[in-house]
């Protein structure tokens, strides 16, 4: 773990509209793909890179440190959501204006970081998602049929319940402005995979703008994935989040996921 915050300021490009860009990588057993992911990051527009290792059992940490990546190590596994909480909290401490979450398993291409960052830096959106569903990226990239179908069904149900329209709610490739990360009550969110969905629901509830861009994707043996059982648990959790969103909007329940948010943005 880095000694003191000064180490986090070793680079400062701020080349996109004067915004400091930090890429965060929530990592778990990413030794086989980390180097390839890192090499494709557009370093000329990224000010800092942070990897948070969630008690990996391989050489992820060693490789990250060899490449000079700012690295934080969880001594025990805190879950995907718990990892992101550390990512965002630390990125804000680093002075980030824009934070891009990039999985180090090379499932999503780092080459989209420039486009995502530009949309945020120019004030066009508060959040940008790299969507596997727009275009033909998902199936062409090897997404299993059952994952594709479940993604489409869950997204349809969520759009209907929440009253919004996204091509998918389940991408792990996301960019945020500092304002969003400072405002959302992320500590109330799960430490598991449903964290992503809770975060998007909070963004929509508060009225922040969301943009999507087409993202080619890659499914290989070394790409991270959750098994069928955990996928089913995730699916039920997603529907629960959507129902809580709607019931809270109607004033029928008070969920800490939403009631702490400021009035809806114009």
Q: What pLDDT score does 217 carry? A: 80
Q: What pLDDT score does 13 carry? A: 60
172 half-sphere exposure, CB direction, 13 A CA radius: 26
Q: What pLDDT score does 104 carry? A: 97
What are the start-end ranges of the H helices in 111-185?
113-121, 137-140, 145-162, 178-183
Least Cα distance to 235 among 196, 208, 202 occurs for 196
Tokens in use for 219? Answer: 């499914």
Task: Say whether 177 sits in a helix, a strand or coil.
Answer: strand
Task: Please report, for residues 202, 240, 242, 258, the alpha-carbon distance to residue 248 in angstroms, rounded to integers and kept in the order given.
Answer: 11, 12, 10, 7
Q: For tokens 């109607």, what's the residue?
A: 250
Kindly list the domain boundaries of the chain, sorted by start residue.
Answer: 5-249
- What is the pLDDT tens value at each position of the chain, 266 positions in all? 343 333 444 555 667 889 999 999 999 999 999 999 999 999 999 999 999 999 999 999 999 999 999 999 999 999 999 999 999 999 999 999 999 999 999 999 999 999 999 999 999 999 999 998 886 656 565 676 777 888 889 999 999 999 999 999 999 999 999 999 999 999 999 999 999 999 999 999 999 999 999 998 876 654 555 666 777 889 999 999 999 999 999 999 999 999 989 767 54
At the fourth CATH level, the homologous superfamily of domain 5-249 is Spore Coat Polysaccharide Biosynthesis Protein SpsA; Chain A (3.90.550.10)
pTM (2 decimals)? 0.89
Angstrom distance (rounded) from CA 228 to CA 212: 27
């Amino acid at each position: 773990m880095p000694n003191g915050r000064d180490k986090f300021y070793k680079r400062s490009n701020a080349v996109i509209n004067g915004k400091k860009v930090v890429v965060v990588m929530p990592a778990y057993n990413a030794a086989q793909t980390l180097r390839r992911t890192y090499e494709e990051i557009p370093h000329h527009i990224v000010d800092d890179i942070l990897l948070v290792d969630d008690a990996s059992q391989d050489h992820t940490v060693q490789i990250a440190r060899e490449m000079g990546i700012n690295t934080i190590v969880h001594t025990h596994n805190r879950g995907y959501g718990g990892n992101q909480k550390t990512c965002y909290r630390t990125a804000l401490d680093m002075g980030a204006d824009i934070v891009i979450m990039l999985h180090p398993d090379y499932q999503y291409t780092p080459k989209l970081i420039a486009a995502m960052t530009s949309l945020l830096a120019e004030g066009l959106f508060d959040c940008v998602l790299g969507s596997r569903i727009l275009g033909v990226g998902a199936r062409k990239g090897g997404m299993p049929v059952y994952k594709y179908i479940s993604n489409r069904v869950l997204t349809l149900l969520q759009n209907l319940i929440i009253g919004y329209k996204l091509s998918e709610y389940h991408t792990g490739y996301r960019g945020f402005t500092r304002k969003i990360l400072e405002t959302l009550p992320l500590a109330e969110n799960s430490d598991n995979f449903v964290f992503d969905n809770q975060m998007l629901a909070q963004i929509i509830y508060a009225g922040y703008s969301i943009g999507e861009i087409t993202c080619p994707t890659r499914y290989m043996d070394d790409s991270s994935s959750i098994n069928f059982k955990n996928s089913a648990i995730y699916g039920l959790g997603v529907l629960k989040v959507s129902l809580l969103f709607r019931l809270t909007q109607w004033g029928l329940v008070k969920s800490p996921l939403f009631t702490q948010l400021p009035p809806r943005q114009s």
